[in-house]
Structure 1
């Protein structure tokens, strides 16, 4: 168990962490993508409901 945690710690030191500007850019990209997909599926859901209610 301790050997595993030691190896994890060693590997985490090798990770290239994003800088502040990159992190902000990635965060904005992820949030905008999630919002876009949520709105897209909400519109599709409303259209399907409308079509099904017509029959």
Structure 2
């Protein structure tokens, strides 16, 4: 068996910040894409 090395508290904070930031970024990105597609479809329907 190999020795398990746990991340430090600093590494955990950094990794958690990255995950939260990327999650917020992708939420906003996909909300914008969804809004653009919806409005483009409404223009074609009219």
Q: Answer whether TM exceeds 0.5 for this pair.
A: yes
Cα deviations by residue, 1:2-39 (Å, 9 ceiling, x for unpaired) = xxxxxxxx65xx22111001100000000000110110
What TM-score, normalized to structure 1? Answer: 0.72
Q: Identify the structure with the greater helix proportion.
A: 1
Give the total of aligned pairs: 44
Which sections of structure 2, spanning at least 5 residues, go unmatched?
Answer: none
Gaps in structure 1 of 5+ consecutive residues? 1-9
